[in-house]
A = this chain, B = another copy of it.
Amino acid sequence: MEKLKKYASVKDEDQFYHQGAVELLVFNFLLILTILTIWLFKKHRFRFLHETGGAMVYGLVMGLLIRYATKASNVENGTVYECEKLESGPSTLLLNITNQVYEYQYKREISHHNINGHQGNAMLQKMTFDPSIFFNILLPPIIFHAGYSLKKRHFFRNLGSILTYAFLGTAISCIVIGLIMYGFVKAMVHIGQLKAWEFHFTDCLFFGSLMSATDPVTVLAIFHELHVDTDLYTLLFGESVLNDAVAIVLTYSISIYSPKENPNAFDAAAFFQSVGNFLGIFAGSFAMGSSYAVVTALISFMATFQHLTKFTKLCEFPMLETGLFFLLSWSAFLSAEAAGLTGIVAVLFCGVTQAHYTYNNLSSDSRMRTKELFEFMNFLAENVIFCYMGLALFTFQNHIFNPLFIFGAFVAVFIARACNIYPLSFLLNMARKQKIPRNFQHMMMFSGLRGAIAFALAIRDTGSQPKQMMFTTALLIVFFTVWVFGGGTTPMLTWLQIRVGVDPDEDLKGQAASQSPPKLDKNTTKAESAWLFRVWYAFDHRYLKPILTHAGPPLTTTLPEWCNPVARLLTSPSAYGDQLKNEDTSYIINNDELSENYESSAHTLGPKQERTGCTQATGKEDICEGDLGLGTYELQLEHTSCQHQLNSVA
């Protein structure tokens, strides 16, 4: 008997392992299908359905199969046991059942109305994985990759507009959606579909904030493929990247907004506390992310810095370098989460900072490795999320389809997008030298897709009925926007007569070659980035770059005289070679061209770089490699300033 029980227990355990395997296998299978489909699409140039849309379709079909082809295997379907001895739910529960103690782990709180028959279907349950997996595992690589691959040059040229859309626009969108939804909720209460105490104005704002996270991954992929106008691309990309961060922090701030008395009344103290929370969390996460990146940059800088340390050059071991880079970047995320900040925001700015400093210190082999690694992780994570969204429609067991709420949400989302783009574009155009044309505005309006972040925020809490209604609605909006708007991108581009096939480096190259004063870029930079950006740029160029990388002028020239001993110690020997840069205009042009050639070849066929050994900074070469493939904004700026010097001399 005892033996038999042991046998059964081993069996059970194995059953358990195999179930985990089946679950993962389903995802693997979906991903393989998606990859094969992408391959097929690449040939036949189907542009009406992007790979992420395809992944969602496969997920949907698989969800349908799992839902209706597997049957509830567990006997204990939805039986609720009473427990009088406990006051609250402990995280771990030890239960004595027929003289055998079992350990149970707290999973979640369930509303009474959710206890239905499907609760016991083990397969469905397994397929609905923990939302924390989204936040801790799947989102970080996507967001980091966005930050790491940001084209700094174009990004900074449009910094003002991007920040306006991301911060002001998201806030507008959140409030507009919140207000419209509150109207619909009132109507629903009026016709008796909802009880008044179930849905507060803060809940509507919560929904508004989570639906404000746009994710035009589909649109951007098509833009990238078609080489759509760089400014439009940058505006959209920059907006969507920062807007995710803003929406996440906003959602969190709203979720902890807790007025003392009536939850529907406006409580000024609580409101300002929420605003304070928002600013604090955003700034804290930003600081956390950047400081991890600075630490990475310092380590990698020290590692190539022979006269200070006695260590072997780290770049001789690209694996260690890659590992360190990967782990420190992930730690930025985890530390922010552990400190009660927002990891996603931290990892975004960590990515941007890593690209700006650390990338310059890496060996060419590690540059390639990190890029490929994050590209690959981004690719997998993105497709997993979209597959999962498809799956969730059928495997999630507590959907609440409320037609009025769904209709309201669709209306609200589009009105909010319009209230975000058109008024802000109008305001921005008053300040911008290079206006944002009408067709760009329409395209941005059209590209307000919702995706991974909205989904992840919605699935984070599905405990109560309103939250479930929100989740269902968010899911449907994601489906609709990804399929309809994502699929309609190419026709829309044609209809709006937006130019495609633009070389992203064309305008800069054009300036460099023709020696004519830049048409609009410099002015735009001046007009938009204003003094803040220029102060930052000067500080970065004079102090941070020389301390953290091999680029920039030697510290001995930028720091005050009395700092010389320290400066001499900290300056990379190669930095002295940099002084040439400011005198030698033609050299800079060559540099620019070099990097552009590099970039375009990287786009078409994959990098041609030789992948051997270290690129320990050796004067000129280093500077030109410094920004390869990740924007050469500094060079361009210097270049134009040099041109002006030349012009004035002439």
Contacts and interface: CB of A to CB of B under 8 A. Distances in A.
Contact of A39 (B89, B122, B311): B311
A419 B211 CA distance: 67
Contacts of A197: 2
A97 B83 contact: yes
A314 B92 CA distance: 50
A20 interface: yes
Given A42-B312, A87-B98, A335-B25, A92 B75 contact: no
A537 interface: no
Nearest to A383: B323
A48 interface: no
Interface string A348-384: 0000000000000000010011001101100110000
Given A7-B256, A18-B338, A365-B606, A92 B106 contact: no
B74 A90 contact: yes
Interface stretch (A109-117, A148-156, A231-239, A627-635): A109-117
A9 B102 contact: no
Given A22-B338, A109-B103, A334-B21, A255 B94 contact: no
A330 interface: yes
A517 interface: no
Contacts of A256: 7, 10-11
A79 interface: yes
A79 B94 contact: yes
A580 B613 CA distance: 37
A266 interface: no
Contacts of A31: 323, 327
Interface string A65-103: 000000000111011111101111111111111101111
Contact of A80 (B87, B95, B463): B95
A106 B74 CA distance: 13
A81 B92 contact: no
Given A100-B109, A111-B101, A331 B28 contact: yes
B328 A32 contact: yes
Interface in A24-82: 24-25, 28-29, 31-32, 35-36, 38-40, 42-43, 74-76, 78-82
A497 interface: no
B92 A119 contact: yes
A330 B255 CA distance: 39
A609 interface: yes
A461 interface: yes
Given A21-B343, A256-B10, A94 B80 contact: yes
A460 B165 CA distance: 52
Contact of A608 (B106, B335, B611): B611
Contacts of A115: 94, 101
Contact of A83 (B10, B43, B95, B335): B95
Nearest to A325: B35
A498 interface: no
| Most B Cβ at <10 Å: residue of A14, A94, A303, A318 | A94
A379 B334 contact: no
Interface residues of A, number: 124
Contact of A93 (B101, B104, B317, B324): B104
A104 B101 contact: no
B20 A136 contact: yes
Contacts of A74: 90-92
A129 interface: no
A9 B94 contact: no
A94 B106 contact: no
| Most B Cβ at <10 Å: residue of A18, A100, A120 | A18
A648 interface: no
Contact of A102 (B21, B110, B605): B110
B107 A32 contact: no
Contacts of A369: 372, 376
B80 A379 contact: no
A35 B81 contact: no
A21 B338 contact: yes
A607 interface: yes
A337 interface: yes
A102 B94 contact: no
21 contacts: A7-B258, A9-B109, A17-B135, A20-B132, A20-B136, A21-B333, A32-B331, A36-B324, A42-B317, A81-B95, A86-B98, A87-B98, A89-B95, A89-B102, A102-B110, A103-B108, A104-B105, A318-B606, A323-B376, A369-B372, A373-B373
Given A76-B93, A92-B125, 12 more contacts: A7-B258, A10-B256, A25-B334, A29-B331, A31-B323, A39-B303, A101-B112, A103-B109, A368-B611, A372-B372, A606-B612, A607-B611
